[in-house]
């Protein structure tokens, strides 16, 4: 079982979950190639991010920071600034963060999806994320 299966199994009722599996196909961001059609995987990533109400990134930590693939995805979806996938209205919810100490040794003999803390915490994370979507939509409507 993987984390993706936990997400699919524990998504709140009525919540659609789409998984973007092509980060490895998104080349490193360079402004001079940032145009529609130049990098098909980057175009797909931007389309997916634009069409979603919420985004959950599940990623390991490498050398005390997020992996390069995630940083690259953020680069592609946040640039160019005037055409960013979500330039305004995006927010990070501290309540949906799960940090797992000693992951290197903790998951040496068990997959992270089988870890009781992760499996037990995932439904709450997903519920919090899903609950934030209507609040964000109401906020946008109020400010219009």
Domain-wise residue ranges, the chain: 3-143
Q: What is the pLDDT of residue 88?
A: 44
Q: Is 14 left (phi over 0), alpha (psi -120 to 50) or beta?
A: left
CATH top class, domain 3-143: alpha beta
Threshold 0.85, pTM exceeds: no
Q: One digit per residue, pLDDT tens: the chain, 144 residues?
A: 577 888 888 888 888 888 888 889 999 999 999 988 999 999 999 888 888 888 888 777 777 778 888 889 989 988 765 555 554 455 556 566 777 777 778 888 888 878 888 888 888 888 888 887 765 555 445 444
Query: What's the confidence (pLDDT) of residue 119?
Result: 84
Angle among Cα 98, 19, 129 to the nearest 5 degrees reads 40
Cα separation, 2 vs 115, whole angstroms: 11
């Amino acid at each position: 079982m993987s984390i993706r299966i936990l997400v699919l199994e524990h998504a709140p009722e009525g919540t659609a979950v789409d998984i973007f599996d092509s980060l490895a196909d998104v080349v490193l961001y360079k402004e001079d190639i940032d145009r529609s059609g130049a990098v098909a995987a980057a175009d797909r990533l931007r389309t997916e991010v634009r069409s979603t109400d919420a985004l959950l990134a599940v990623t390991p930590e490498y050398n005390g920071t997020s992996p390069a693939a995630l940083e690259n995805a953020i680069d592609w979806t946040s640039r160019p600034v005037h055409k960013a996938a979500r330039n305004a209205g995006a927010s990070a919810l501290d309540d949906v963060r799960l940090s797992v100490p000693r992951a290197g040794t903790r998951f040496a003999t068990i997959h992270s999806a089988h870890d009781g803390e992760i499996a037990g915490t995932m439904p709450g994370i997903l519920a919090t994320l899903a609950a934030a979507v209507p609040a964000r939509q109401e906020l946008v409507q109020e400010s219009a």
